[in-house]
Amino acid sequence: MISEIWTEKYRPSSFGELVGQEEILKRIAALTNSFNIPHMLFAGPAGIGKSTMALIVVKELFKENWKENYLELNASDERGINVVREKVKSFARTKSLGKVPFKVIFLDEADALTPEAQQALRRTMENYSATCRFVLSCNYSSKIIDPIQSRCAIFRFKLLEKKDIERYLKRIMDAEKITVSPEAIEILYEGSEGDCRKAVNLLQSTASIASNITAELISTVISSAKPKDIKIVLDYALAGDFQKSREKLLDIMLKESISGQDVIKSIQKEIWNLPIEPEIKVKLTEKTGEAEFRLVEGSDPFIQLQALLASFVLAGLGKG
């Protein structure tokens, strides 16, 4: 039985438990140990440790008093100017408890704040810098106004590598007494695309079915097109057999309930394993990008994928 979400249950509680982001980790740990952190901006994709890093900084600074000295707001839910004027200001103007002379406000998904709210936040950061430090987290730092960026030390997080995610998952596997084959770990990492939270959720979903996790089981949970199936589709197309290629593609999409965008992603990865000239791979990658754009804009997935397969057929015939 799934008693609680593993992403929270096994959330790292110290700098030593974090995986990846080694350079950032060293810099932030040094600042935290000096008990004088600046305003900070954490930028990077989802699921790579930004929120966890902020929480660890606060716990290291305030120890058992961390809850009284920490305010967390999700800017995607509360993104208006009133939030900055009321919640943030009222928290920032009060003195901290303990030896550290400031409190910490963590604004998650700060790139969702309206420009007006960001302008109000800019003044708040300026006026209350003696009693409060701001830690902002965002996916795209370009959406944060320049005056705020200039007031922060910016840390750019990157997607986690396979070894980092594997190390983190091993801790969960040992604690939950589940076994995962090396092939399943590989598929887990590919399915997560460097997002540790997604990898943990996939592992938990699969572990609820069986304690001995295989590559086949992970593939079923992920519901993505298998590389070998996509390879068959592309091999038929490059051999000039459009009909068989089309039938196999339809079979994959209908029987395994895979979306057009997932198929496109699998095709894009598989292009580089095909036995064709590099110049043709580049052209087919461009065609794949065009098809993906049309799908995002709302075009019919199967029509666009058939058109993409037609490009592969022409490439195979030397007419692409």
pLDDT value at 300 more than 80? yes
Enter the CATH code of domain 162-222. 1.10.8.60
Beta bridge partners of 156: 43
CA angle 36, 39, 41 (to 5 degrees): 130
pLDDT value at 16 more than 90? no
Lateral strand order in the sheet of 153-156: 70-74, 103-108, 132-138, 40-43, 153-156
The confidence score (pLDDT) of residue 76 equals 63
pLDDT tens digit sequence for 133-169: 999 999 999 999 999 999 999 999 999 999 999 999 9
Pair 63, 104: CB distance under 8 Å: no
Intervals of CATH 3.40.50.300 along the chain: 21-156
Percentage of the chain exceeding pLDDT 70: 94
Cα(182)–Cα(98) distance, rounded to whole angstroms? 48
The confidence score (pLDDT) of residue 29 equals 92
pLDDT tens digit sequence for 95-140: 787 788 899 999 998 888 888 888 888 888 888 888 899 999 999 9
- Residue 1 neighbours by CB under 8 Å, 6+ apart: 208
Mean pLDDT to the nearest integer, 174-203: 88
Q: What are the distances in angstroms from CA 170 to CA 14, 47, 179, 188, 202?
A: 17, 17, 9, 12, 14
Average pLDDT over the chain, rounded to whole? Answer: 86
CA angle 275, 301, 304 (to 5 degrees): 55
Cα(42)–Cα(110) distance, rounded to whole angstroms? 10
Long-range contacts of 248-252 (CB under 8 A, 24+ apart): 249/302, 249/305, 249/306, 249/309, 250/302, 252/225
**Please, what CATH class does the domain formed by 21-156 belong to?**
alpha beta
User: Which residue would you say has higher pLDDT here, 88 or 59?
Assistant: 59
Enter the CATH code of domain 227-316. 1.20.272.10
Please count the CA atoms within 13 angstroms of the CA of 105 that sit on its side-chain side: 24
Candidate ranges 206-220, 235-249, 252-266; pick with highest mean pLDDT: 235-249
Percentage of the chain exceeding pLDDT 90: 30
Q: What are the distances in angstroms from CA 155 to CA 15, 143, 148, 202?
A: 16, 15, 14, 28
Intervals of CATH 1.10.8.60 along the chain: 162-222
The confidence score (pLDDT) of residue 80 equals 66
The confidence score (pLDDT) of residue 149 equals 94
Pair 10, 173: CB distance under 8 Å: no
Cα(185)–Cα(197) distance, rounded to whole angstroms? 14
The confidence score (pLDDT) of residue 150 equals 93
- Residue 302 neighbours by CB under 8 Å, 6+ apart: 249, 250, 253, 260
Intervals of CATH 1.20.272.10 along the chain: 227-316
Mean pLDDT to the nearest integer, 21-49: 91
User: Which residue would you say has higher pLDDT here, 226 or 99?
Assistant: 99
The confidence score (pLDDT) of residue 1 equals 39
Strands (E), the chain: 40-43, 70-74, 103-108, 132-138, 153-156, 179-180, 212-213
Q: What are the distances in angstroms from CA 203 to CA 20, 198, 217, 245, 271?
A: 19, 9, 10, 33, 28
Please count the CA atoms within 13 angstroms of the CA of 299 that sit on its side-chain side: 16
pLDDT band at 217; cut points 50, 70, 90: confident
**What dihedral do alpha carbons 139, 142, 148, 151 form, nearest 10°?**
90
pLDDT band at 4; cut points 50, 70, 90: low
Beta bridge partners of 133: 104
